[in-house]
C-alpha cells in the first residue's frame, strides 16, 4: 500500500467519476478512512479490482439526472415485502 | 438404471409402492458420495448417520400411512450458508468454522417437515462470494463433467452435488447469478425464484436486497418440486412476500404454444466474450420455441451494463456493511478472492448506494413494462462453457449474464440445451413475470425436452 496519500477526496461518489484522481491514492485514502489495512502482498490485486469497479460507480451516478424521480428500491420494503 | 437416474417424482412413486425404501435411496447416495466426492469436493460435511436415521423414520411413517409429500424420504444437501441446528454454518470460511447454528433455517425447516433427508453441507465460494479458492479451509468444488474445470459459483457444491448424481436437488443462493451460473456450467437446472418467494431466514446474507434462495436440480421438474417445498411466506424474513404459492408442476407439460417470448438480444449480441456455440445455443432455443408455436421477438431493455453496474454497487455496499468489522480486525482470515472485492465497499458512498437503488427502480420498471407485452424473456446465461481451473479468469470476467434479474427480482431459470464441442454443457435462461415462476418453468421444460 502506498505510504503517502496524494489526494484527499471528500467522498468516493465524486472522486470515482474523476479520472484525474490517481486510483491508488484514492483507494488508499478510503481504506485508511474505513480503518482497513490491506497487506502489501494483496495490494495489487485489490487495486486492480478497484480500477475495474470505478466505472460501475461512475455509471450508477451518471445514469440518473438530478431531476429524475425514481425513489430508491427500499431494502425489504415493509409494505410490499419485495423490491 | 440406478436410483440416481430417477426423478424425485419417480422415486416418490417407488417409495409409496414399497419398491424401494428411503434408507436404500440414502445409502445409495452415500455410497456414491464416498466413491466419488474425494475427486469432486462437493461436500464440506456428510451427516451419514443422521441421514440414515431420519430415512428410517421416513420409511416408518410411510408404512403407517403418514405421507409428508413428494420429498418424503428423498435425500438432498444444503449449501453451507444455510443454518441447520447443531451443525456449523461455515460459509466455507475460516472465520466461521465454529459457528454452530442454534436453529434451522426456514428452508431446512420446511424441507424437514416435507420429509426430505439432509445428507450434509455443501461447498460454496467463501461467504457465497469469493472463489473458487485454494486458500480456504475446504477445497473448491470441481465440475463433475470435467474435474479440471470450475463449477462456477457461488453455489458450487450445490451444482456439483446434483451434476455428480449425489442428490436430485440442492438449495443454493443467488445474489448475482450464483444459482444459474453454476447450474449452467455443470449441466443442471438452476432456479432463482422471485425475490420474496423463498424465506432467507437462517441463511447467511451476502447482500440483503439481492439475496434469493432457490434450488439447483437435475431437471426442470425436480426444480419445480423442490421449489414447491421451499416456497412460502415467512414473517421472520422482512423480504418475504405474502403471496399465494401456486402448483409449480401443474403446467409443466403444457407446451409453449401461444406464449409471447421476448429476447433482449442486445444483452449479448455484441459482447466480445460470446462464443459461437453459446450464440448458436440461444438461436437454436429460439427456433425450438417458434417451432412449437410460441411468438418470439427481440425486445429492448436498458443496456445490460446498467444492470451490471447497479448490481455491483448495491452488492458491494451491502456486503461491506456485513463484513466491515471483520475486515478491520480479521482480514487475514478471509481468502484473497473475497478480500479483493469485499474491501471495495469502503469506496461506495451513501449517494452511490442510493443512486444505485434509484437506478434499480428505473430498471425494474423497464422490465415490468416489457412484461406487459410478453409472457417471458429468453437470453443467454453464460457467454461460454466452464473454464479450467488453471486458466479461469477472475470471477468478474466469467461472462455470466445473470445479475440483471437479481437487480429486478424477477424469477429466472437456467436450463441446459446441449453440449459444446468440448463436451461441456450450454444453457439459456428464461425469465418470468414477478411471482410467475410457473410460466418460466413451463418454457424451460419445453427447451429441456428438446435438448
pLDDT band at A73 (very low <50, low <70, confident <90, very high): low
* Structural domain for A72, as ranges: 1-83
Is B359–A70 a contact, with Cβ atoms under 8 angstroms apart? yes
The alpha-carbon gap from B170 to the nearest alpha carbon of chain A, in Å, equals: 24
pLDDT at A19: 57
Closest chain A residue to B364, measured at CA: A83
Which one is catalytic: B154, B158, B173, B240? B154
**pLDDT at position B271:** 87
Which residues of chain B are within 8 Å of residue A48 when distances are taken between CB atoms? 340
Q: Specify whether B414 is catalytic.
A: no
Q: Give the residue extent of every domain in chain B.
A: 8-176
For residue B1, what pLDDT is reported?
79
Contact B200, B233 (CB under 8 A): no
Chain A CB contacts of B200 below 8 Å: none
pLDDT number for residue B16 = 97
User: Taking CB atoms and an 8 Å limit, are A60 and B359 in contact across chains?
Assistant: yes
Q: Which of A35, A57, A71 sits opposite B352 (nearest CB)?
A: A57
B358 with A59: Cβ contact below 8 A: no
pLDDT in tens, chain B (451 residues): 799 999 999 999 999 999 999 999 999 999 999 999 999 999 999 999 999 999 999 999 999 999 999 999 999 999 999 999 999 999 999 999 999 999 999 999 999 999 999 999 999 999 999 889 999 999 999 999 999 999 999 999 999 999 999 999 999 999 999 999 999 999 999 999 999 999 999 999 999 999 999 999 999 999 999 999 999 999 999 889 999 999 999 999 999 999 999 999 999 998 888 999 999 999 999 999 999 999 999 999 999 999 999 999 999 999 999 999 999 999 999 999 999 999 999 999 999 999 999 999 999 999 999 999 999 999 999 999 999 999 887 777 788 889 999 999 999 999 999 999 999 999 999 999 999 999 999 999 999 998 8
Among B178, B240, B275, B382, the one annotated catalytic: B178
Question: Which among B212, B234, B349 is the top mutation candidate for probing chain A, defined by the most A β-carbons within 10 Å of its own β-carbon?
Answer: B349
Provide the domain count of chain A: 1
pLDDT score recorded for residue B219: 98
Task: Please say if B279 is a catalytic residue.
Answer: no
Kindly list the residues from chain A whose CB atom is less than 8 angstroms away from the CB atom of residue B352: 12-13, 16, 57, 60-61
Give the 3-state secondary structure of chain B: CCHHHCCHHHHHHHHHHCCCCHHHHHHHHHHHHHHHHHHHCCEEEECHHHHHHHHHHHHHHHHHCCCCCCCCCCEEEEECCECCCCCECCCCCHHHCCCECCCCCHHHHHHHHCCCEEEEEECCCECCCECCCCCCCCCCCECCCCCCEECCCCCHHHHHHHHCCCCCEEEEEECCCCCHHHHHHHCCEEEECCCCCECCCCECCCCCCCCEEEEEECCHHHHHHHHHHHECCCCCCCCCCCCCCCCCCCCCCCCCCCCEEEECHHHCCCCCCCCHHHHHHHHHHHHHHHHCCCEEEECCCCCHHHHHHHHHHHHHHHHHHHHHHHHHHCHHHCCHHHHHHHHHHHHCCHHHHHHHHHHHHHHHHHHHHHCCCCCEEEEECECCCCCECCCCCCHHHCCECCCHHHHHCCCEEEEEEEECCCCCEEEEEEEECCCCHHHHHHHHHHHHHHC
Q: What's the pLDDT band for A4 if we cut at 50, 70, 90? A: very low
Distance (Å) from the alpha carbon of A10 to chain B's nearest alpha carbon: 10
Q: What are the angstrom distances between the C-alpha of B65 and each of B15, B17, B18?
A: 12, 12, 12
The domain made up of B8-176 is a member of CATH 1.10.569.10: no
Across the interface, whether the CB atoms of B308 and A56 are under 8 A apart is answered yes
**Eight-state DSSP code of residue A64:** S
Q: Assess whether B2 carries a catalytic annotation.
A: no
pLDDT value, residue B108: 98
Instruction: Say what the ipTM of the complex is.
Output: 0.91
- Rounded to the nearest angstrom, the minimum Cα separation between A6 and chain B is 17
Cell numbers standing for residue B63: 408404512
| Mean pLDDT confidence for A61-73 | 76
* Nearest beta carbon to residue A30 from set B347, B350, B394: B347
pLDDT in the model for residue A3: 29
Interchain pair A16, B239: CB under 8 A: no
B176: distance to nearest CA of chain A, Å?
A: 15
Residue A16 in this model has a pLDDT that exceeds 90: no
Amino acid at each position: 500500500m502506498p505510504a503517502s496519500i496524494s489526494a484527499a477526496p471528500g467522498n468516493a461518489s465524486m472522486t470515482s467519476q474523476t479520472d484525474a484522481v490517481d486510483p491508488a491514492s484514492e483507494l488508499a485514502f478510503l481504506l485508511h478512512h474505513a480503518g482497513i489495512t490491506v497487506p502489501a502482498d494483496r495490494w495489487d490485486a485489490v487495486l486492480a479490482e478497484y480500477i475495474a469497479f470505478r466505472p460501475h460507480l461512475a455509471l450508477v451516478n451518471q445514469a440518473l439526472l438530478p431531476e429524475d424521480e425514481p425513489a430508491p428500491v427500499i431494502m425489504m420494503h415493509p409494505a410490499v415485502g419485495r423490491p | 438404471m440406478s436410483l440416481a437416474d430417477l426423478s424425485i417424482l419417480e422415486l416418490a412413486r417407488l417409495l409409496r409402492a414399497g419398491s424401494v425404501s428411503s434408507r436404500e435411496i440414502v445409502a445409495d447416495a452415500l455410497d456414491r458420495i464416498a466413491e466419488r466426492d474425494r475427486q469432486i469436493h462437493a461436500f464440506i460435511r456428510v451427516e451419514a448417520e443422521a441421514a440414515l436415521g431420519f430415512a428410517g423414520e421416513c420409511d416408518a411413517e410411510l408404512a403407517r400411512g403418514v405421507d409428508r409429500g413428494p420429498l418424503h424420504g428423498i435425500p438432498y444437501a444444503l449449501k453451507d450458508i444455510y443454518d441447520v441446528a447443531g451443525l456449523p454454518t461455515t460459509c466455507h470460511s475460516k472465520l466461521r468454522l465454529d459457528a454452530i447454528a442454534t436453529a434451522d433455517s426456514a428452508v431446512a425447516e420446511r424441507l424437514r417437515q416435507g420429509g426430505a433427508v439432509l445428507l450434509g453441507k455443501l461447498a460454496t465460494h467463501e461467504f457465497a462470494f469469493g472463489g473458487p479458492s485454494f486458500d480456504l479451509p475446504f477445497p473448491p468444488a470441481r465440475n463433475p463433467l470435467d474435474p479440471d474445470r470450475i463449477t462456477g459459483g457461488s453455489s458450487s457444491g450445490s451444482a456439483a452435488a446434483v451434476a455428480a448424481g449425489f442428490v436430485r436437488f440442492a438449495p443454493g443462493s443467488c445474489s448475482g447469478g450464483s444459482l444459474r451460473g453454476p447450474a449452467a456450467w455443470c449441466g443442471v437446472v438452476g432456479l432463482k425464484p422471485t425475490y420474496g418467494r423463498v424465506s432467507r431466514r437462517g441463511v447467511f446474507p451476502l447482500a440483503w436486497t439481492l439475496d434469493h434462495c432457490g434450488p439447483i436440480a437435475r431437471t426442470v421438474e425436480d426444480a419445480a418440486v423442490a421449489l414447491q417445498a421451499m416456497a412460502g411466506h415467512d414473517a421472520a424474513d422482512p423480504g418475504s412476500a405474502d403471496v399465494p404459492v401456486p402448483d409449480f408442476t401443474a403446467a409443466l407439460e403444457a407446451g409453449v404454444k401461444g406464449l409471447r417470448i421476448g429476447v433482449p438480444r442486445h444483452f449479448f449480441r455484441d459482447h466480445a466474450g460470446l462464443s459461437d456455440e453459446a450464440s448458436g445455443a440461444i438461436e437454436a432455443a429460439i427456433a425450438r420455441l417458434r417451432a412449437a408455436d410460441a411468438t418470439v421477438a427481440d425486445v429492448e431493455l436498458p443496456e445490460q451494463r446498467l444492470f451490471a453496474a447497479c448490481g455491483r454497487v448495491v452488492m458491494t455496499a451491502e456486503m461491506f456493511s456485513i463484513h466491515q468489522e471483520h475486515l478491520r480486525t480479521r482480514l487475514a482470515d478471509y481468502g484473497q478472492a473475497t478480500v479483493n472485492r469485499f474491501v471495495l465497499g469502503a469506496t461506495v458512498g451513501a449517494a452511490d448506494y442510493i443512486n444505485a437503488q434509484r437506478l434499480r427502480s428505473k430498471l425494474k420498471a423497464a422490465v415490468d413494462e416489457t412484461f406487459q407485452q410478453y409472457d417471458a424473456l429468453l437470453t443467454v446465461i453464460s457467454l461460454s462453457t466452464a473454464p479450467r481451473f488453471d486458466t479461469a479468469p477472475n470471477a468478474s470476467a466469467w461472462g455470466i449474464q445473470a445479475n440483471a434479474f437479481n437487480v429486478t427480482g424477477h424469477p429466472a431459470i437456467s436450463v441446459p440445451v446441449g453440449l459444446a464441442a468440448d463436451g461441456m454443457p450450454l444453457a439459456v435462461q428464461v425469465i418470468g413475470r414477478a411471482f410467475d415462476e410457473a410460466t418460466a418453468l413451463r418454457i424451460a421444460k419445453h427447451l429441456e425436452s428438446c435438448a
